[in-house]
Structure 1
Amino acid sequence: MSESPVPNSNNKTRVFEGMLFAVNEEIGPNLRINASPLNDREAIAAVIQGMTAVGFGEGRVKGLFGPLPVPYNSLYRTIVYVFTVEAPRSQDPKTREYGRFCALFMVFRREMIRFISNSYRMIESMLNMYKDTYLKHEKDLKPESLQIIYDEIISNLKYHLQTRIFRIENGLTTEFEERTIILGGEAIVIINEEERILYYYQSPEISKEDKKKALKSIERINRIEYQDSLESKKLATKETLLQKLQEYDIKIIEE
Structure 2
Amino acid sequence: MKKVLNLLFLAAMLLGAHMATAQTTTSDGKSWFNRTIAGAAQIQVTYRNNNFDQLNRILNNNNIPSLSGNDIWINLSMNHIHKQWIFEDGIGLTPLSTSENGNNLKAKYGQGQLYFRAGYNVVKTPDFRLFPFVGLNFSAAMLKIQDKAREESTNDFSQELLTSTSSKTLYQGAFGIELGGGYDYLIKMKTKRIDNCVEIQRNIPIGIRAGYYINAARSDWKVDGHSLDNGPDKGQSAIFVSLNIGLGYSIRKL
> Could you state the TM-score of these two structures normalised by the residue count of structure 2?
0.27
Larger proportion of strand: 2
Q: Which has the higher contact order (CA 8 A, sep 6+)?
A: 2
> Could you state the TM-score of these two structures normalised by the residue count of structure 1?
0.27
